Amino acid sequence: MSTAETTSAPTQAPRKINIQVLGPIIALVVLVIVGALMNSNFLSYANVTNVLARSAFIGIIAVGMTFVITAGGLDLSVGSMAAFIAGLMILVMNYLLPSMGNGVPIILVGMLAALVAGLAAGFLNGFLITNMRIEAFIVTLGTMGIYRSLVTWLADGGTLSLDFGLRQTYRPVYYEGILGISWPIIIFALVAIAGEIVMRKTAFGRYCAAIGSNDQVARYSSVDVGRVRILTYILLGVLVGVATIMYVPRLGSASSSTGVLWELEAIAAVIIGGTMLKGGFGRVWGTVVGVLILSLIGNILNLTDFVSPYLNGAIQGVIIILAVILQRGRKAEG
Amino acid sequence: MKHFAAASIVALCAAPALAQDTTVIGVSIPAATHGWAGGMNFHAQEAVDRLEEVYPELDFVLATAGDPSEQVSDIEDMVATRGISALVVLPFESEPLTGPVANVANQGVWVTVVDRGLSQEGIEDLYVAGDNTGFGQVSGEYMAENLDEGAQIVALRGIPTTIDNERVAGFEQAIEGSGIEVLEMEHGNWNRDDSFTVMQDFLSKYPQIDAVWASDDDMAVGVLAAIEAAGREDIQFVLGGAGMKEMIQRTMEGDEMIPANVTYPPAMIATAIELTAVGMVSSAPVSGQFTIGSVLVTEENAEDYYYPDSPF
């Protein structure tokens, strides 16, 4: 298990682990307290459900992004990819409606289409990065533009809308759930738990960290670097598909403005959560905390008249940087 | 977008052979980044296709830009490589486009400005203007007439721009003295997802909301979804704007949540292209200003504003 030790190298001393681990959680707790003090509805069931459900899209994607970044990669295309998959899914379901009729089977076909499209898109990114040996930044910058244009083209510059009847059938996937917990929250939780287990308990998770730490050493340790890398992008692609499955029933539409900047929000969440941007160390539960921090900032700013809405972006920026400082503060000493 | 690509390729191939006896008109517009712009792109393409058929002596170059600097490059390219005689431009932003368009005008090219004015007066030969203040005013007057004194509303604003500021100013002017209380205004950025989120938070924050000024039909879609999900019954209606076909249809069918709409027709780009073409091929004078008013659409007249073929 030499790889596992490599991963924890930046956090050797136990005292340092504490502040690193606690940073994002402290930020989250502070935000929750601030929110609760500012508006009494903040902790209401409806608001908590809203925030968690809207975090699910970025959250599911960010879990996949954690693996990609841990393995030393990056994916800028996920926002465009989500828009493209949403558009494709809507087109497929609308196209099949006359032959299949409205019902659960056609929704399942749509979901399958989203997963397959995500898998293919992730494979394409991974293939170009590992087999063609092009930098991840460039490949995914390229595919980002491609998917964004494709969805605009599919929609003819407008908006793709799911058939009204289908929307009614599909709607519960976003708005309903079990025991008062809506589906997006359940799926997000399951993805996060599975991601955490894969990252910490499986060979795949340790390989990701080893490759991100030093891919040459990983290669000498007989890790199939190319295969693991490509798998991280495929995993991310499939998770983008899953996020899209949860996104489409919300408004039943996709356009060129769908998923704009999701990639940066996902990357920001991953980094706030304690994963290192240069790779080598990843923390899935930290990513989940990062996603919640980002959603809460927007929510609190909407619920209060604290600052001019023009400054929302600035507040978000400050809190992102603060969260990372809190997390890395002690590291500079060591 | 595929039509544009095809059209420009055709235009490029045809140009050298016909260079002597054709007049080239350049059309520069923002890309279809939201519903309204998508409709505007559609109408621009349709006008170009129609006019190329009607006037064989006219040739069109259509370019769509994703940001102001790209639009400046497009315009420079049109002047340098296509020798345009007229330019129809819907500026992305007024400030950055003013200088470059003034340069084009100084070279003797006819300039038609659409929707957003340039920041300096007297550059353009023809100004086909959308009436943003009027848009806000008509919306505000509808609210004032249909809500009781003391009614509480929330409003969603667009992307922070001059257009948005003018609309909001017009709206605030119109509801002044009506006793309507605006609880809060927040930017929904003319985006369905953003306005869904903002509306959810409004619903958490305010236990009683009588009506919503969504100010745009894309935002109205997000607002309606949020209201439906929350199961709130206190909101009497949502007033969108710009005349998206799905919304006009619901108004036409007497949907109580969407009793009205206020137009801000994306087809104004077609008006500008047509007028410019007429100016190029005939002696009919077309210079001056042409303001396209914002009209209140209700169940009675909705049919006149329903364009099922448009993407918007």
Residue-level pLDDT at B107: 87
Determine the Cα angle at B286 with ends B282 and B289, to 5°.
170
Beta pairing partners, B23: B58
Please judge whether A149 and B41 are an interchain contact, meaning their C-beta atoms are less than 8 angstroms apart.
no
> What is the reported pLDDT for A11?
46
Q: Which two tokens stand for residue A281?
A: 């160390």
Q: Is residue A7 part of a domain?
A: no
Provide the token pair at B252.
Answer: 């036409």
Question: Which residues 6+ apart lie within 8 Å of A233 measured at CB?
Answer: A68, A73, A75, A122, A123, A125, A126, A129
Q: How far apart are the first and last CA of chain B?
A: 14
Plot region of B209 (φ>0 → left; ψ -120 to 50 → alpha; else → beta): beta
Q: Please give the helix or strand (H or E) that residue A19 lies within, else none.
A: helix A14-38
Say yes or no for a CB contact (<8 Å) between B222 and A258: no
Q: Do A256 and B311 touch (CB under 8 A)?
A: no
- E strand residue ranges, chain B: 23-30, 58-65, 86-89, 110-115, 126-130, 152-157, 181-187, 211-213, 237-239, 260-262, 288-292, 296-298
Name the CATH superfamily housing domain B2-129+266-292. Response regulator (3.40.50.2300)
C-alpha angle A51/A53/A56, rounded to 5°? 110
CB pairs under 8 A between A and B: 94
Chain B residue at shortest CA distance from A310 = B160
Look at chain A and report how many structural domains it folds into: 1
Residue length of chain A: 334
Over the stretch A25-80, which tens digit does the pLDDT of each residue have?
888 898 899 888 888 888 888 889 989 998 999 999 999 999 999 999 999 999 99
Q: The domain containing residue A220 runs over which residues?
A: 36-329
Sorted by sequence, the CB contacts under 8 Å of residue A61 that are 6+ apart come out as A78, A82, A236, A239, A240, A243, A262, A266
Q: Which residues of A touch B62 (CB under 8 A)?
A: none
**Is B31 strand, coil or helix?**
coil
- Which residue ranges in chain A fall short of pLDDT 50? 1-15, 330-334
Residue type, A65: M
Cα–Cα distance for residue pair A55/A57, rounded to 1 Å: 6
Cα–Cα distance for residue pair A240/B294, rounded to 1 Å: 41
Per-residue DSSP letter, B118: P
Contact A158 B32 (CB under 8 A): yes
Amino acid at A267: I
pLDDT at site A159? 81
> Is residue A21 situated within a structural domain?
no
CB contact under 8 A, B312 and A39: no
Residue A14, domain member (yes or no) = no
Closest-CA distance, A2 to chain B, in angstroms, reads 46
Which part of chain B has CATH 3.40.50.2300? Answer: 2-129+266-292, 132-262
Phi then psi for residue B232, to 5 deg, are -85, 135
CA B158/CA A301 separation, integer angstroms? 17
| Residue B148 to residues B10, B145, B178, B257, Cα–Cα distance (Å) | 58, 8, 8, 17
Cα B184 to Cα A300, B201, B224, distances in angstroms: 14, 11, 17
Q: What is the ipTM of this complex?
A: 0.73
Question: How far is residue B96's CA from residue B74's CA, in Å, rounded to a whole number?
Answer: 13
What is residue B161's predicted lDDT score, i.e. its pLDDT? 77
How far apart are the C-alpha atoms of A184 and A246, rounded to whole Å? 6
The conformation of residue B167, written as its DSSP 8-state character, comes to H
Contact between B286 and B274 under an 8 Å Cβ cutoff? The reply is no
Order across the sheet with B288-292: list the strands.
B58-65, B23-30, B86-89, B110-115, B126-130, B288-292
In this structure, what are the phi and psi dihedrals at residue A140, rounded to the nearest 5 degrees? -75, -25
Cross-strand partners of B115: B129
Contact list, B155 vs chain A (CB under 8 Å): none
What stretches of B123-169 adopt beta strand conformation (E)? 126-130, 152-157
**Looking at domain B132-262, does it have CATH number 3.40.50.2300?**
yes
Task: Please state, in angstroms and rounded to a whole number, the distance separating the CA atoms of residues A77 and A96.
Answer: 28
Query: Residue A156 in contact with residue B308, Cβ under 8 Å?
Result: no
CB-side exposure of A42: number of CA atoms within 13 Å? 20
Is A202:A212 a contact under the CB 8 Å cutoff?
A: no
B240 Cβ contact list (under 8 Å, min separation 6): B214, B215, B216, B217, B219, B220, B247, B258, B261, B262
CB < 8 Å to B312, chain A: 158-159
Residue position matching structure tokens 């927007």: A298
Nearest C-alpha in B relative to A301? B201
pLDDT of residue B291: 87
Give strand pairing partners of B213.
B155, B239
Beta strand A253-255 pairing with A159-161:
antiparallel
Three-class SS of residue A161?
strand
For every one of its 312 residues, what pLDDT tens digit does chain B have, with 9 covering 90 and above? 445 554 444 444 444 444 446 888 999 998 877 778 888 888 899 899 999 899 988 889 898 888 888 888 888 888 888 888 899 999 887 788 888 888 888 888 999 999 887 878 888 899 988 888 999 999 999 999 999 989 999 999 988 877 888 899 999 999 998 889 999 999 898 888 999 999 999 998 899 999 999 988 989 999 999 999 888 999 999 999 888 888 899 999 988 899 999 988 888 999 999 999 998 888 888 888 888 888 899 888 888 888 877 777
- Identify the CATH number of the domain in which residue A80 sits: 1.10.3470
Contacts of A310 in chain B (CB under 8 A): 160
pLDDT of residue A209: 93
pLDDT of the residue at B12:
46
